[in-house]
Structure 1
Amino acid sequence: MLKAGRSVLCSALTLAFATTLALTATPAAAQQKKKLAFIVNASSDFWKLAEAGVKKAQAELPKYELQFRYPAQGTAALQNALMDDLVAAGTSAIMISSVDPKTSVDAFNRIAKQVPLFTTDSDAPTSNRIAYLGSSNTLAGEQAGEVAIKALPKGAKCMGFVGFLGADNAKERIAGFRKAVAGKGIELVDVRGDDVDFAKARSNVDDVLAAKPEINCMVGFYSYNPPKIYEALKAANKVGKITVIAFDEDPITLGAVKDGSFAGTVVQQPYEWGYQGMKLMAAYLEGDKSKIPADKLIIVPTKVIDKSNVDAFSANLKATLGK
């Protein structure tokens, strides 16, 4: 009986030890996963594609924990605070679309001293980021200008609308557009910023319609600007009377391209930013720096969508998002 009692006791102790080991091993295993973060510049449906790309990358990177983060508001201060929080929580590398690169250089450099920092969508080239992965916004602006030239052979006076006037992606798109239309009789009279305030984005268009009847062309440089342009034109009964050149693939934008209300839209590949961005950071952390080019720019091409290819593009988009 004594021997049996000792056997039962030993079995109980062994079970207790195994249970304790199992309980302590799970958090330890979780801690071994390096965390990678993708930070966007504001809450917008545009980023759903990038989020889908990150999700695909997660399935291929089981040793990593991938995070997709929106700042509480689209401000540089909140973006920078979010990066600080992520680093403090043990994040190993960060990719970010900068709201305001010029005022964020010091903050970016502080983060870059602690973890590898990459940019996407809107670059911060004067910071110590490792590389930029995203569109050439200058070339995208030029493509938008080419759409305008084709749609407006007799020239036009255009008004532009954008979120952050100070962001590099906005400035480069605007500069590219102006370069393309130079000497073609098309003038980009001005660009109105809205700081990703959707109500202001709409009111900016309403104000132009009321105060500047000479404007016969509008350019929406951020993804939500073309839908707000469409809303305002519809309310003013001017859909089809003002030529619109768009950016990105909002459903309203694609619908307007399909029915001829918009001349065309320049689309990016945010899905690839999310997917390739996570794979790039994981490779970098594992010591593979071969994917970083000498100029530190990894350009994902943009494409013009017009009436001729909008159906095929829309079908592919739905398949990518699993709709």
Structure 2
Amino acid sequence: MKRRSLLAMPAALGLGAALTTRAQAQEKRTLAFVVNVSADFWTICRRGIDKANREHTDFNMEMIVPGQASAAEQRRIVDELLARKVAGIAISPINPANSTEMLNRVASQAVLFTSDSDAPNSNRAVYIGTDNVAAGREAGKQMKRALPNGGKAMLFVGTMDADNARERVQGIREELQGGNINIVDIRTDESDIARAQRNVEDTLARYADINLLVGLWAYNTPQIYQAVKGAGREGKVKIVGFDEDGLTLRGVAEGVIESTVVQQPFEFGYQSMVGMVKYLNNDRGFIPANKQIIIPTRIIDKSNVSEFQGQMRDLLRGR
């Protein structure tokens, strides 16, 4: 009997250790980052979240990509997260103007940050991301560089319901004011990538005199690039884009795309998670008076695209 008890002891100790480990894991608080659409842009953001989690192993940190890019899908995800009693949510709201009630519900039960697209009328603690009006002005400068003699331009974006889309267009219009570049229209696709490419193909077919196509969201510029190449209009139709999708960078390297305004999604993820940890630990000193932490943009063109592509490859591989 004594021998049997001694033999059972390691198993009992092992079970006890396993239960302790499981209990510790269950005690970890969860922080979630809810994005707006599936794109490499958010894969880079995820690397920032991973880094933050390595530094704060007492938290579970996760990214959630909606099955479809809609405010309703984001609301469903948020409801599930609140039911799980997560400690904090960072979100890129698809339609912030019509999501205030949902966002305020989050803020009443957890820490709420916005990123990429703001919701200033909500009770979010802070926005971490790009100054999208300023980014729009940078895109406007690139448009003027692409068409020094002026011409006709078409803009493409997922939806004009998102603050980042409206603000980028505002910045572009401000930069182009009084100049000789005319924006013919803004085509939206509701984050449907097939529709995004059809929008470009339709524009190329209907407007023989179009000079410039501008993609405002990460997936728009690759669709423009493919449609322009498919139509054999490289060099005849200029392209200016946003973000650092692999096809966008290839187009810049080839000279088919003039330039792209890139953000720093790695910092969106990293600073959102680290910021929520601080907030939960009652450190609010990092939040500015205007409740906006602005991450600067960069212009990528043929002069620096090769180096930037290497940096992106490393980030996407998790190096």
Matched, 1:301 2:272: no
Structure 1: segments with no counterpart, 5+ residues: none
CA distance in 1, matches of 2:183, 2:269: 32
Matched, 1:106 2:67: no
Q: What is the CA distance between 1:13 and its match in structure 2? A: 7.9
Residue type matched to 2:218 in 1? Answer: S
Alignment partner of 1:197 out of 192, 215, 220: 192
CA distance in 1, matches of 2:298, 2:8: 66
SS in 1 for 2:302: coil
Structure 2 equivalent of residue 163 of structure 1 = 158
SS in 1 for 2:109: coil
Give the TM-score taking structure 2 as reference length: 0.95
Structure 2 equivalent of residue 213 of structure 1 = 208
Q: What is the CA distance between 1:15 and its match in structure 2? A: 5.7
* Aligned pairs, number: 318
Residue type matched to 1:156 in 2? Answer: G
Structure 2 equivalent of residue 115 of structure 1 = 110
Structure 2 equivalent of residue 176 of structure 1 = 171
Pairwise CA RMSD: 1.6
CA distance in 1, matches of 2:125, 2:271: 15
CA distance in 2, matches of 1:81, 1:276: 25
Residue type matched to 1:265 in 2? Answer: T
SS in 2 for 1:189: strand
Q: What is the CA distance between 1:12 and its match in structure 2? A: 7.0
Q: What is the CA distance between 1:109 and its match in structure 2? A: 0.6
Q: What is the CA distance between 1:277 and its match in structure 2? A: 1.1
CA distance in 2, matches of 1:265, 1:17: 60
CA distance in 1, matches of 2:27, 2:261: 41
Alignment partner of 1:316 out of 306, 311, 315: 311
Q: What is the CA distance between 1:320 and its match in structure 2? A: 2.2
CA distance in 2, matches of 1:152, 1:16: 74
Residue type matched to 1:297 in 2? Answer: Q
**Structure 1 runs of 4+ with >2 Å offset:** 7-24, 319-323
SS in 2 for 1:199: helix
Matched, 1:253 2:248: yes
CA distance in 2, matches of 1:23, 1:217: 61
Residue deviations 1:106-139, cap 9 Å, x none? Answer: 0111111000100000111100011000011111
Structure 2 equivalent of residue 32 of structure 1 = 27
Give the TM-score taking structure 1 as reference length: 0.94
Structure 2: segments with no counterpart, 5+ residues: none
Q: How does 1:29-178 map to 2 (within 5 A)?
A: 29-178=24-173
Residue deviations 1:63-114, cap 9 Å, x none? Answer: 1111111112111111111111112113110000001001110011111100
Q: How does 1:226-305 map to 2 (within 5 A)?
A: 226-305=221-300
